[in-house]
Amino acid sequence: MSNWPKHDMSFLGGRRQRRLRRTGWMRNMVRETVLTPHDLIWPLFVIEGHNERTAIRTLPGVERLSVDLVVEAAKAAAAEGIPALALFPNTQDDRRNADGSEAWNPDNLTAQALHAIRDAGVEIGLITDVALDEYSSDGQDGLVRDGEILNDETVEAMVKAALMQARAGADIIAPSDMMDGRVAAIRRALDAEGFDHVAIMAYSAKFASVYYGPFREAVGSGSRLIGDKRTYQLDYANSDEAMREVAQDIAEGADMVMVKPGLPYLDIVQRVSDAFDVPLFAYQVSGEYAMIRFAAQAGAINGEGAMLESLVAFKRAGCDGVLTYFALEAARILNA
């Protein structure tokens, strides 16, 4: 039993921690981590057609948009202070093949969206994904021969896709394929063609995760995936390996690095933040988003509160920004 007299706080030296939490204005004044719309990147899914939008069963509240509607979404994002969009195409079945050659077609959906946003004069950054899963007939991020994912041949394909995207107006190239050496190869190719101003945001610590399911439905790769991606995406049990991947991408010329998925990997985010002095981003992936949405729909949690709490967690762990499907919704709340 304690020997301290009841209500006697003198042993604390007069410090009452709750003083700093007593009022809203005090909490605002001493808040350590601040989330703003400038911290958010909004991923968008692009489809064929005009004035077309299609729902995604496993991503409530997220839609695939035709190019004209992507332009309108870009305007809405820019108006709320969101600095950049990340574009992902849902490629038509008849344009998919084993080589993923639609990835470097100068008239593919990504290129169309880039040109349209640029032509509309929207002041917003444009980030493009470099991987083959959105274009291949097998759903893999790399070229497949006899069941093997080919590294160097895939890197050659990534370079062609990256150059096409830069020519179409991409500001940031984001290779997500996790092949060895792809950052260096893309950097050399961009510089050689005069795109030294185009940055690289490397998916450096991308783990083999079950949390990508809704994304694969959104881009149309999930149902066609043959095999898995564990020979190139990171084992989710490993953190030291993730650090080596980040170090290699930085050495090869990455301007920014990313951890993916997000919330289940905040320990990786913090390690990267502590160890490296480069801008760091995390992707709050589709499965994370879906869990919050579905839990909110079931009445299990406050959806808006969970959204904001999760986004602040990324900043608190050391992220400079977050790719999130909540971006526009969160930005409007933060601006209110």
Q: How many residues does the chain have?
A: 336
Give the CA dihedral 115, 258, 312, 43, nearest 10 degrees: 30
User: For domain 34-335, which CATH number applies: 3.30.2000.10, 3.20.20.70, 3.50.50.60, 1.10.10.10?
Assistant: 3.20.20.70
Residue 116 is predicted with a pLDDT of 98
pTM (predicted TM-score): 0.94
Q: Which residues are annotated as a binding site?
A: 245
CA atoms within 13 A on the CB side of 55: 4
Q: Catalogue the active-site residues.
A: 206, 260
Residue 16 is predicted with a pLDDT of 87
Residue 221 is predicted with a pLDDT of 87
Residue 258 is predicted with a pLDDT of 98
DSSP 8-class letter at 210 = G
**Ranges of each domain in the chain:** 34-335
| pLDDT < 70: residue spans in the chain | 1-13
- d(CA 192, CA 195) in angstroms, rounded, equals 7
Q: Which residues are annotated as a binding site for Mg(2+)?
A: 245
Residue 227 is predicted with a pLDDT of 83
Residue 226 is predicted with a pLDDT of 80
Q: Which of 281, 286, 234 is nearest to 254 (CA)?
A: 281
E-strand ranges in the chain read 40-47, 53-55, 63-66, 84-89, 125-130, 143-145, 148-150, 172-175, 199-206, 256-260, 280-284, 321-324
31-63 tens-digit pLDDT? 999 999 999 999 999 999 999 999 999 999 999
